[in-house]
Amino acid sequence: MEERREFPAFPYEPYSIQLDFMNSLYHSLTKGGVAMLESPTGTGKTLSIICSALQWLLDRKQQQKTECESPLNLSGKQEDHLGAEDEPDWMRNFVINKDTKSPEKKTKKKKQLGFDKRFDRNGKREIVRDLITNGSGKEEDTEIEKVNNLMAKHEVEGMDEEEFLVEEYESEDENGGQSKRKGGGVSVNSSSEEEKDEDSMEDEEEEARPKIYFCSRTHSQLSQFVKELRKTKFAGEVKVVCLGSRKNFCINQEVLKLGNPTQINERCLELQKNRKKENSKISKTKNIGAVGRARRSKTSSGCPMLRNHKRGKEFRSEVSQQGPVDIEDLVQIGRDLKTCPYYGSRSLVHTADLVVLPYQSLLSKSSRESLGLSLKDSVVIIDEAHNLADSLVSMYDSKITLSQLELVHSNLESYFIRFRNLLGPGNRRYIQIIIVLTRAFLQALGNENCQSKFDPVYNAEGSKSGFDSSMSINEFLFTHNIDNINLFKLLRYIEESNIIHKVCGYGHKLALSEEVSALKNDDKSSHDESPLSGFRALVNILLSLTNRDGDGRIIISRTRPKCPKQQGGYLKYVMLTGERIFSEVLNEAHAVILAGGTLQPIEETKERLFPWLPPDQLHLFSCGHIIPPENILPIVVSQGPSRHSFDFSYSARSSSITIQELGLLVSNLVNVVPEGMVIFFSSFDYEGQVYDAWKELGIIGRIMKRKRIFREPRKSTDVEIVLKEYKETIDALSHSSSKQDPGSRNGAILLAIVGGKVSEGINFSDGMGRCIVMVGLPYPSPADIELMERIKHIEGFDTSSGKNTKFQAPKSWYSGDAQAGLDILKSCKHRGKQYYENLCMKAVNQSIGRAIRHINDYAAILLVDTRYTFDASERSSSHSTNKLPQWIKNRLVSATKNYGELHRLLHQFFKFHKGKEDKE
């Protein structure tokens, strides 16, 4: 029997379910391993997590202190320090002894690069033999020769673009593989010896262990967590830091105005590169006695928010004094001190007890290393975990479009033409290889100028040109004859050599000269694409190709563009499973907690993240809702007012009779439901089809007599405007209807989309959601090639061996072919089909869970489809309604005999609550 604890830090008198939740979380943290904790939204879940987890943290620290009176050995702590190459100088110096690597380690790192130092000043090509070879070790130079023949036609002109020239490198087989840098190999880890000395005292701070990492999906949810934390006594007892993206933290207006998160990241990194380059110049000028001039030149480079090292120290001090602060507070402190809050917050991770961050930042191994996050002996709590599996695999997806490839290829060739005879053999070789790869990718997409003997019209499964097709990594590499390229070495070269910025810088100069020429000739050509973003996309694709063959698939899309801005086609790597990635977190952390308002169906998350985990090693907890049972009325609606059965399956939902019957149902509901109604449709396309049909039938006009209609906009930035107007309409109209005028408007109705902005992050408390209508079962489209690849992967997973065996689909299929997708689903025996159904019910649960938000709230929930109907005595565990949250399932009315009975139940429900409100 587990010991039951009290949690005095809880700022209010806790409900019994809150105590149950906190005890379950505390015991899960003590035991370690994996736990899934479900507490419906509106039950104080966030506050319960804070009070339980931080109580455990303080108890654990006290226990450690008692068990070990002597100080811990801190000799091994260097492994957890910030390791990002993009950090500013003062950040690097703040971390303990970061650059005190032995010469042997530095030599080893450079040796791995594989650069060839043998420089032929006449431009003679030399080969890094282990980079491109066939199985016998013989050089495979067919494509390279093509590149050389092309480049040999161009003579190098005067050297007025030296800044774009890549530095020379030596090979791994001579001088230990150290780089041969012009200027003597200057370290760029610090801009001055003075700055090193200023942090020497702070460097002695010990890292806080264990830590708690609290993750959620959005920055607004993280801010809400910090606000709840401030309500407790823990606000003054633990050190807290909030991490976020550059877009949310940046205070450099010149960078921030770029708007796009990717461009902001790129510009920030570019400024850091500029700073490093300038530091190198400073050191060189110091060597010749021009110290003063060097220091003056320093101020013209890098980001202005990172120049003053002392302000970085002031930032850390100010944050520590203020206690728990959210992203907005950190940004304001950064503005006041004129120093970067993004890097400033990162410098606080080392000593923090609680780190609050988006879960993408924690789940990505490269992000963890960049941010200096050590999960050893620590706790990871992931809130809103119903989205975890999707977010995890999407983080490792990568995509490059045909237009990006063409731009990258063009920039590379232009650069190589210009600098070929001035590059060392190592640089020449690697640049040629990148050109070969971009050619192969262009060929895969059917680019007419990059055809080869490998016909990309058919893939390994026989997919026809013009459609989406998929291949495994190995199939893709072998088909396009690039399987003999060492991608690991190539990626290391791209990272170390700064080749991307050199090529983009030169390309930018050429583009400017072309634009000037175009203006002179009245040519209105424009360059919408960014070469830098194209190169980033290329690097991501190359990185994806280093994954295990069975972890993902390459999607080759050669379909025609749907809008003028698209230039047709793309390559995309789709990660099929997150189990290996998530296992890295599980193996390192002491405990991992998945929390959420609705985690049902739990099988969906388990299948995708830890299918190998035995049931007895997964702790599950689900508490009820704080609302009384009479505050919710869930009903299955199998037929409409005309007794026509509701079947919204993929093949039947477009029936004019079905759409009309749904319209008649809604026309009747608006007369009995007060205030706000939200109707969820499976997609924007289907909602548009239904709305247009209702308008033609005159149903829209009938509905509008009682409730004003709003529609969820496709553009997410417009959602807040529509919701604001929706709420204002309800507030204005709901109470204007009186007994003297019973036919007047009594609120509003919102047509929303499952999986849209409204279904995920919006709360329809009180009058905004008195009735939630779910139209059909929102199964994902069977024409989604990425989804079908994932289903085939899951269907082939063997739980006994923990391995994936190839699932034999009935036939190859193409994007847009829904019937072929349905054939794949029919061929699934169990796991794939269950996963598909679980995705559907997860979407249902997220949508209908928007209504009840606090203890006095009430709402009716209508599940409109005959497939929701069940016989209570015969309902199997796999039935869709068994995957509803327990607090809804327990009150579910399985079916009504006719619309009259439905109307009566709704009338009694709302009359009862209207009476309660009048008494209050």
Over residues 807-839, the pLDDT tens digits come to 665 554 444 577 778 888 888 888 888 889 988
The alpha carbon of residue 802 and the mean position of all alpha carbons in its chain are separated, in whole angstroms, by: 26
Measure the CA–CA gap between 180 and 178, rounded to whole angstroms: 6
Per-residue CA distances from 910 to 106, 749, 848 (Å): 73, 17, 18
Domain identity same for 865 and 761: yes
- Where would I find the H helices in 33-130? 45-67, 89-94, 103-111
Domain identity same for 759 and 881: yes
Tokens of 890: 């327990």
- Average pLDDT on 450-476 reads 57
CATH code at position 727: 3.40.50.300
Domain presence at residue 691 = yes
Domain identity same for 567 and 639: no
- Where would I find the H helices in 373-468? 388-395, 402-419, 425-444
Domain identity same for 551 and 696: no
Domain presence at residue 289 = no
Q: Are 427 and 134 in contact (CB under 8 A)?
A: no
What pLDDT score was predicted for residue 570?
A: 92
Residue of 453, 455, 457, 460 lying closest to 476 (CA atoms): 460
Of the segments 550-559, 653-662, 800-809, which one has the largest average pLDDT value? Answer: 653-662
- Average pLDDT on 294-307 reads 59
Structure confidence by residue, pLDDT tens digits, 489-511: 999 998 888 888 888 888 888 87
Which residues form the domain of 435? 396-447+466-513+530-576
Q: pTM of the full predicted structure? A: 0.76
Angle CA(507)–CA(258)–CA(308) in degrees, nearest 5? 95
Q: How confident is the model at residue 806 (pLDDT cuts 50, 70, 90)?
A: low
Residue of 709, 715, 653 lying closest to 681 (CA atoms): 653
- Average pLDDT on 37-57 reads 90
Q: Are 794 and 831 in contact (CB under 8 A)?
A: yes
Q: What 3 state SS string does 566-624 have?
A: CCCCEEEEEECCCHHHHHHHHHHCCEEEEEECCCCCHHHHHHHHCCCCCHHHEEEEECC
Domain identity same for 560 and 637: no
Structure confidence by residue, pLDDT tens digits, 840-893: 998 998 888 878 878 888 999 999 999 998 776 656 666 888 888 888 888 899
Point out the domain boundary residue: 576, 592, 610. Answer: 576
- Number of domains forming the structure of the chain: 2
Domain identity same for 534 and 421: yes
Domain identity same for 563 and 654: no
With left for phi above 0 and alpha for psi between -120 and 50, is residue 323 left, alpha or beta? left
CATH code at position 424: 1.10.275
Structure confidence by residue, pLDDT tens digits, 178-228: 344 433 332 323 333 333 333 433 445 678 789 999 999 888 889 989 999
Residue of 832, 796, 797 lying closest to 821 (CA atoms): 832
**Where is 19: in which H helix or E strand?**
helix 16-31
Domain identity same for 541 and 643: no
Measure the CA–CA gap between 28 and 37, rounded to whole angstroms: 10
Domain presence at residue 773 = yes
Q: Are 264 and 237 in contact (CB under 8 A)?
A: no
Say if residue 601 is preceded by a cis peptide, omega within 30 of 0. Answer: yes
Domain presence at residue 405 = yes
Q: How confident is the model at residue 53 (pLDDT cuts 50, 70, 90)?
A: very high
Domain identity same for 707 and 564: no
Q: What 3 state SS string does 131-171 have?
A: CEECCCCCECCHHHHHHHHHHCCCCCCCCCCHHHCCCCCCC
Residue with tokens 């959005």, as numbered in its chain? 218
Domain presence at residue 697 = yes
- Average pLDDT on 905-916 reads 90
3-state secondary structure of 485: strand
> Of all residues in the chain, what percent carry a pLDDT higher than 70?
73
Domain identity same for 670 and 754: yes
Residue of 354, 300, 350, 347 lying closest to 325 (CA atoms): 354
Q: Return the C-alpha torsion angle 231, 237, 238, 244, nearest 10.
A: 30
Measure the CA–CA gap between 341 and 399, rounded to whole angstroms: 31
Structure confidence by residue, pLDDT tens digits, 341-369: 999 999 999 899 999 999 888 988 888 88
List Cβ neighbours of 901 (8 Å cut-off, separation of 6 or more): none
Q: Are 754 and 775 in contact (CB under 8 A)?
A: no
Point out the domain boundary residue: 576, 591, 609. Answer: 576
Domain presence at residue 709 = yes
Tokens of 726: 């929706």
Domain identity same for 553 and 648: no
Q: Which residue has the higher pLDDT, 733 or 723?
A: 723
Domain identity same for 568 and 638: no
Structure confidence by residue, pLDDT tens digits, 376-401: 989 999 998 888 888 888 888 999 99
What pLDDT score was predicted for residue 716?
A: 82
